[in-house]
């Protein structure tokens, strides 16, 4: 099972940059999208159906042109869960989950804390999501949480850890949370296979950051420890350039 995750920074903009052609080439069984910035009725769903993803599920923010997540799959899931049931999260369309056999795949878009007044919102989301995930895994142990976490875990995950130590996305409290999230029963799938530096998933549009690989690793496929022995591969697909992020992909038996 090939599972991809991609913060597309606007699905309509990504479509105009060749997203569907890339999707057909990458050929995941399931893809989790974040920051779709669109309502379902603003999209021509036939383009996804024609690409082989007739099963597509969208959870938009109440605010138009903002946030939102989706899951596209080649085969129909056994179940779709939209949102978490936590009102303030669901108003921003930040979580959607699909069950395939004994595996449950979530697309999550964790808030950014860089905008004025949003750090407290992000910290609240992080705390509430940890509790939600703890409860969910009692019933759904084989959980994979893909998405944009908006946090770099370790110094190896960011191009300039010293200058960014007081920037949201690399704050000690954020790094501690993602470390605790992993310790609660998850595997950072990319680091499971690759311990090398200079692997990032997001680059600023400023100062030629992507060409110079001055990036941040913000996108993760966190895999429940119960699935660790079934995890075969985890890669960052830097050649895809439809967004300021790039996609990631894992393979699970």
3-state SS class at 237: coil
Residue 106: strand pairing partners: 97, 145
Beta strands in the chain (DSSP E): 2-7, 30-34, 55-59, 69-73, 79-82, 95-100, 103-109, 143-148, 186-188, 202-203, 215-216, 219-224, 231-236, 248-252
Of 44, 134, 148, 219, the catalytic one is 148
- Cα separation of the two ends of the chain: 6
CA 112 to chain centre: 13
Q: Look up 148 and say whether it is catalytic.
A: yes
Residue 44: CB atoms within 10 A of its CB come to: 10
Name which of 83, 201, 203 is nearest 153 in CA terms: 201
Beta strands in 47-87 (DSSP E): 55-59, 69-73, 79-82
Catalytic residue set: 148
């Amino acid at each position: 099972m090939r599972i991809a995750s991609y913060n597309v920074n606007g699905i309509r903009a990504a479509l105009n940059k060749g997203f569907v052609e890339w999707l057909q080439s990458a050929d995941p069984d399931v893809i989790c999208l974040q920051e779709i910035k669109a309502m379902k009725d603003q999209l021509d769903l036939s383009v996804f159906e024609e690409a082989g993803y007739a099963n597509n599920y969208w959870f938009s923010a109440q605010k138009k042109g903002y946030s939102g997540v989706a899951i596209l799959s080649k085969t129909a899931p056994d179940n779709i869960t939209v949102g978490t049931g936590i009102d303030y999260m669901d108003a921003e369309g930040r979580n959607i989950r699909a069950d395939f056999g004994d595996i449950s795949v979530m697309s999550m878009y964790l808030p950014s804390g860089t905008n004025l007044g949003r750090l407290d919102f992000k910290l609240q989301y992080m705390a509430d999501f940890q509790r939600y995930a703890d409860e969910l895994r009692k019933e759904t142990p084989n959980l994979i949480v893909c998405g944009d976490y908006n946090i770099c875990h370790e110094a190896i995950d960011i191009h300039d850890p010293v200058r960014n130590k007081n920037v949201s996305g690399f704050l000690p409290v954020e790094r501690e949370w993602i470390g605790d999230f992993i310790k609660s029963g998850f595997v950072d799938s990319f680091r499971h296979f690759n311990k090398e530096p200079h692997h990032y998933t997001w680059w600023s549009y400023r100062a030629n950051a992507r060409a110079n690989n001055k990036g941040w690793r913000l996108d993760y496929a966190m895999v429940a420890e119960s699935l660790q022995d079934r995890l075969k591969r985890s890669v960052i697909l830097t050649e895809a350039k439809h967004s300021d992020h790039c996609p990631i992909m894992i393979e699970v038996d």
